[in-house]
Amino acid sequence: MLDDHHTPLDAGGHGPLPYDTVLLHPGTVPGADPGPYVVADIAPAAGGQAWEINLPDDDPRYWDWAAIVTLGDIARITRLTPAGPVSWAPVR
């Protein structure tokens, strides 16, 4: 079951929402591999143009790592919808 944060994919490939999974472009975040990562929240200081990402909760480093990324860092977004997962490359 999906919560209120998970809405159907809007036309135009908008940015991620909390709980979406993202893959990063290689080399955009120092020390980070392409992922996958889970979007934790939208970074309010960036005016909705940056997102906090965490490692998946089954990763042993889950509590020790987080990063802030922009849309230009993200290669692919995956969102769970009632019809199943939907993935897209964000429009930069």
Nearest residue to 74 (alpha-carbon basis) of 89, 87, 57: 89
User: Is 76 a domain residue?
Assistant: yes
Q: Are 50 and 42 spatial neighbours (Cβ–Cβ below 8 Å)?
A: yes
Q: Residue 84: inside a domain, yes or no?
A: yes
Q: What is the pLDDT along the chain (92 residues), one digit of tens a residue?
A: 344 444 444 434 578 999 999 999 998 888 889 999 999 987 766 667 889 999 999 988 888 889 999 999 999 999 999 999 999 998 76
- Residue 34 within any structural domain of the chain: yes
- 27 inside domain: yes
* Domain, as residue range, for 70: 21-88
The total number of structural domains in the chain stands at: 1
Is 22:68 a contact under the CB 8 Å cutoff?
Answer: no
